[in-house]
């Protein structure tokens, strides 16, 4: 878990730098998927100074609660059954308490299938979330790859570490890092 010392299930340690880069990759992924799936997918992003060890995904039919560890079992609360309404309410209230990222500001920028460094910089400027000047082109390229689910962020951690041997990386969660404060889909 992200609260335990040492590497998590990806082989990476949670640091301030990694958390910041994961947040930027999540926002890029949200904008990228939003442009491609706008007719059937609603994505909202909020930034919080605190986090939960749970991750939440909400649909009109169920709430899915997971933890950071890929091997951990998910809990599913179906609409009409106990806890669905309570968790939906909790997520609405939580979302109102965070700094909301206004993804609509990115509408004027069409992201490529694989966004360029320039598109990525322009996106965060439009969102009024400037990328730190310390982010190199290599860092931004790794953010893009992470956002598209192509590799873990270990390649952009301090010291440029490689993925552990035989580690497949995390794919398939819409490019969103697990352990983010709240994901509302």
Residues 55-92 have pLDDT tens digits of 888 889 999 999 877 778 999 999 999 899 999 999 89
CA distances from residue 179 to 14, 122, 136, 165 in whole angstroms, order as listed: 10, 27, 25, 23
pTM score, two decimals?
0.73
CA dihedral 168, 52, 45, 112 (to 10 degrees): -10
Radius of gyration, alpha carbons of the chain:
16
Specify the 3-state DSSP secondary structure of 45.
strand
For residues 119-158, b (16+ Cβ closer than 10 Å) or e, as one string? bbbbbbebbebebeeebeeebbbbbbbbbbbeebbbbbbe
pLDDT band at 181 (very low <50, low <70, confident <90, very high): very low
The token pair that represents 2 in the structure block: 């992200």
Instruction: Label residue 172 left, alpha or beta by phi (over 0 means left) and psi (-120 to 50 means alpha).
Output: left
Comparing 36-45, 75-84, 98-107, 175-184, the range with the smallest average pLDDT is 175-184
- Give 8's pLDDT tier (boundaries 50, 70, 90): confident
Average confidence (pLDDT) over 1-24:
79
Q: What is the pLDDT at residue 183? A: 39
Residues 6+ apart with CB under 8 A from 28: 115, 120, 123, 143, 144, 147, 175
Q: What is the pLDDT of residue 172?
A: 33
d(C-alpha 58, C-alpha 18), whole Å = 26
pLDDT on residue 168: 33
The confidence score (pLDDT) of residue 61 equals 95
- Of 43-47, 111-115, 131-135, 178-182, the range with the lowest mean pLDDT is 178-182
pLDDT digits (tens, 9 = 90+) for 132-141: 999 999 999 9
Tell me whether strands 54-58 and 45-47 are parallel, antiparallel or unpaired.
unpaired
pLDDT-above-70 percentage for the chain: 78
pLDDT of residue 163: 33
* Contact call for residues 43 and 103 (beta carbons, < 8 A): yes
Asked whether the predicted pLDDT for residue 178 surpasses 50, the reply is: no
């Amino acid at each position: 878990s992200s609260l335990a010392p040492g590497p998590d299930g990806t082989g990476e340690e949670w640091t301030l730098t990694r958390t910041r880069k994961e947040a930027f990759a999540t926002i890029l992924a949200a904008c990228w998927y939003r442009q491609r799936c706008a007719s059937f997918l609603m994505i909202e992003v909020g930034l919080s100074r605190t986090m939960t060890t749970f991750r939440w995904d909400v649909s009109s039919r169920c709430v899915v609660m997971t933890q950071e560890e890929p091997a951990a079992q998910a809990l599913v609360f179906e609409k009409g059954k106990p806890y669905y309404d309570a968790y939906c309410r909790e997520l609405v209230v939580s979302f109102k308490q965070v700094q909301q990222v206004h993804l609509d500001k990115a509408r004027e920028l069409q992201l490529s299938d694989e966004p360029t460094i320039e598109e990525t910089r322009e996106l965060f400027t439009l969102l009024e979330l400037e990328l730190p000047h310390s982010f190199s082109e290599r860092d931004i390229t790794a953010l893009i790859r992470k956002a598209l689910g192509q590799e873990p962020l270990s390649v952009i951690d301090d010291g440029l570490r490689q993925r552990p041997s035989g580690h497949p990386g995390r794919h398939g969660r819409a490019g969103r890092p697990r352990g983010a404060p709240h994901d509302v889909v």
